[in-house]
Structure 1
Amino acid sequence: MYMEFRLELFLMLAFACSIMLAFGIQLQLRKNEKKRKEAEERGEYYHSLFERHRNAIIEVDLNGTITGLNPYAARLVEEAGVPCIGEPLLAFAFPEYKAEVSEAFARASAGETSVIDQLSIFLSPEHTHWHATYSPAYRSGTISGVFVTAVDCTDKHNLQLELQRKRLAYDQAAESIMDIVLVLDRRMVPLYASPSFEKRLGYRRGDYLFEIPVTEYVDDEANDRIRKEFERLSEGMSVSGFELKFPRSDGRMIDLDCNATPQFDEAGELDRIIVVLRDITLRKNAEQALLDGEKMYLKLQHSLDAFSEEALYMMKAAELEQRLLAELRNILRPARVAVLETTGFRHFACRQGDRPEEEQLERLRDFRGIRLPVGQVFELDSSAFIMIGDHRGMTQLVWLEGCSDELAKKPIRVWLQTLSRYTDSFYENMLKLKDLTHELESLSQRHRTPAWLLRLMYAVSEKERRRLSQDLHDAALQEQIIWYRKLEMLQHSRAVEEKTQTEIGRICEGLLDVIHQIRMTCHELRPPFLKEWGIGQALEALYDQTQMRADYRIAFDSSGFTAKLEDEQMIALYRINQELLNNAIKHSEASEVRLSLTDHADGVLMTYQDNGVGIPETKLQNLLSSMGLYGIKERVRSLEGDVQIESAAGEGLSIHVYLPKIHAAAIPAAV
């Protein structure tokens, strides 16, 4: 019984255990299924994360070889055409990052996650900047490799580079711009000041600058002006061209040109003011220098005008030197001034003013043997000197002391140079007048007029002829023409009787003859178109005019003439031809006159020949001193030329006139 009970009990326990075991197995199966499902879900999640991640995920084994890529990374390397699986990771690392990649890989292999910012690996030419995370990959609880998660930050990097470039450009512009930019609040307290604030004004941009209104830095007058402009800004108007003086940190005042623009908040109230300050000190100084220069120019010009006008009437060097010192004292205000004369800078004589001390003269002796230009200022320690004359071994100079500041000004130096050259010309003219006086005294004893004086006299004579011709043409001739027109109108008037008209006609003919004669006289006094046509055509016109009243034939040849003559030579040849043709009409009884003009020995040769009665040799010398031929000889001599006259009774007259080349006129005047 007992055994049966124990057997039943054992069976019951066994049944209960089997039930419990079955229940436990069922429960474990459910747990395993749940874990499997969770693992599948987790695997699907991580697989989804791996497969669909928008970042590149690279699986690397512990040897550093790439074993897997997520689709995004695979697409990148496929597009780049770069084989990746089975290749070492370091092959895709940029050279400058290989050490960092190796270190990060080693740390990840040891179980530590590492991050390399920015550029590290190459996956695609278009994606060059990555944020790479190196983390360990576990399998069965052990590290089996490394996952490299690369986040593409190329756009972010490019944006940062662009921002850096713009910031650098802005900083460079802010550093290089010379204008001061201020941003003020409505209380006119600075909110911002550009770096040029320190450069231009010398003040440090400390906290104090952004606590005090800008009106506290200027005087009351400028403050009032700023307040008035602030009212305009409050009304929405911009301010430009506002100028004020502002003190620099070193105490120097500078001129600023202010331009201000208001900015308003949403409520329409003045919020801030943008102010641009430009340093215009140089411009203002230049404007002032221009005004001062204009005043100085007028002062110096008046000085030169007064000096030259008074010097016209001076005949002694001492008078000019006194006037020169007076002008120097008036303009330069020197402590001392003197006119010195020296021979070779050895010994000095004081002609006018305050004689320098021997020490000063010793400084001047340092310039011995040096050729110094007239008008140049030579500065010594506290003095200076200017050459005002250097003729025939004698040198004149002006010595000045105590006016170095004035001598540093360029207009003053130009003024001194002009005065010096004028004085130098005066000295030279005085010497020439002295020489001329001696020469005239010598010539008066020999009763022979010098060639240069003859030339001058003929030039003056021609000038007077031109003036007289102009007066005749403008006055007498025009009056005659007016009266002729009036008489002509009166002659044809119906109110005048026929007999009276006949008499008026005779008077008109007489007036025409007078008009013609005046014109002829004007032409003789002033040869027409001589300068415009040249001597060749002018002589041809003279011959045509003479031919109408002469009883001989004129032949002229200028085929060998090409020389360019001066005005004096042309008028001389013209006058000589006039005289010869008139003599031929009066005395020669010739039937033919031949004239020629040819180049000869760097000059011109004019030849006259006629077949008239000629001049007996016994009378030729007497005729050479008569007015006609003598005047020809003297005119040619005045131009340093030569005349040869050949004649005999019954053999006509032959005259050869040679004029050499000359380079300057006696009196500049148009022919």
Structure 2
Amino acid sequence: MEKPDSYSYHQLFDMIMNHKTHMFSIVDRHRRTIYATPNMQEVFGFTLEEAGKRDAFDVVHPDDREYLLKRHENLLASKQSNTSEYRVITKNGEVRHYECKTTPLPDTKDYLQVVSIRDITDRKLMEMELERQKNRYEELQKSLKNYSQDLSSVMKLPDLEARIRSELESVLPGSNPELHTIHPEKADKNAQQLPQISVGRMERVDNKMIIKIGERNGHAYILSIDASSIKEEMETIWLETLAYYTVMVFENLNVIENLMNQLETAIQSRESPQWVLRLLFNLQEQQRMTLSGDLHDTVLQDQIDLYRRLESLLNKYEIEKESKAKLKQIEQGLLDSIHQIRITCNELRPPMLRELGLERALENLFEHIQVTSTYKILFTNAISPIPPLTEEQTIGIYRIVQELLNNAEKHSKASILKFHIECEEGSFRMVYTDDGIGFNEVKLNPSFNSMGLTSMSHRAQSLGGKMEFISKPGSGLKASLELPINDERSLA
């Protein structure tokens, strides 16, 4: 190949060295610089003569120097090229990230090494930001999981206030959460507008984020935090989800308080509490339906939107392998979250229960559970088709089955679960048996230690039926449900 007439090879080489983004140097065994490209001299602020009098590692960040010294010793001993990543301090005092590939020349005088250096600061900062976002996302998901689990033990409003305050202070430092109780007629002019905010909806008022938790005894309960504590979109989504959980529990506490008052009145007047139980379960189903719809229409859609934007980013831009792998982890995390939210929505509001009917809905439930469970489910139906059931009866039976499955998953250690449906003299009957570890008869008595059994019994009682349990240690569990069909008892 002939060189162009207008340039010498020396001129072409200087042109490459002066304008190349990579930096090159040649150092000896003592790390004294023999040669350095002009751009390297510019970045580190020394001349070639000055560089020859100092250790090349003097510009390396102190925390990385020992690591590089060992790498250099290994390179001299092995005579093999190696690649390192480390931080340096530029002449301006700025910390930058570099990737260095060193090629040893063991047969040269003073054991020279050719060093190729490139600035990877932008890539490292992006990787660190991706890692930070991944860790933050996992932290927020863990927070929601723990919070939702803890709410199951919240029985009083002060406990709910303390729990949400603790969670906000922990996850959003500097949020300064406050729960305000406002009476619309007694509040000042500015505060009078706050009770008009929709329950569960987050709005910004000046420098505060405001969420209305609910109303109680004519007072609006308003949660406020400093808006500056929310730094990114995922924290906004987290706060919205936290608010939905809190609103649901707040409303349930109101319902429980009202029902307890009504129940006390009913007992004192010797009235049957069946209607109270029906009211409780109907309100519970309404809350489940509302929460399912809210999760589906807000949180789930936000997660799907984030997933699609990330997917578009991965497809649209060329991203380095390591960064792409981290993005893929985040993408998979979003998919897992979307899947879990959909499962939660389906558990809160069984899909197509009314359209499919009880038998098909139970078959779908068993098929879904069977995929991840360690036990086998056998389902038999002695009546086909199942006599017409009210929607309330259908959802009641479905919920009892869910509770039996939940008990088997958590406690029974059973390998086989059997569900049998039949009809006897105008009554719907379902018999459940398993080969689990069973339990003492004392647990069959209503108590807070057997809330699952009590809940199923109350559910059956609310529909005018009854539920019986037979069990002893080592003999599994037998549960029998009996409900009247087309009988006024079921609607009493």
In the superposition, the TM-score normalised over structure 1's length comes to: 0.36
Question: RCO (CA 8 Å, sep 6+): is it higher in 1 or 2?
Answer: 2
User: Which structure is larger by alpha-carbon Rg, 1 or 2?
Assistant: 1
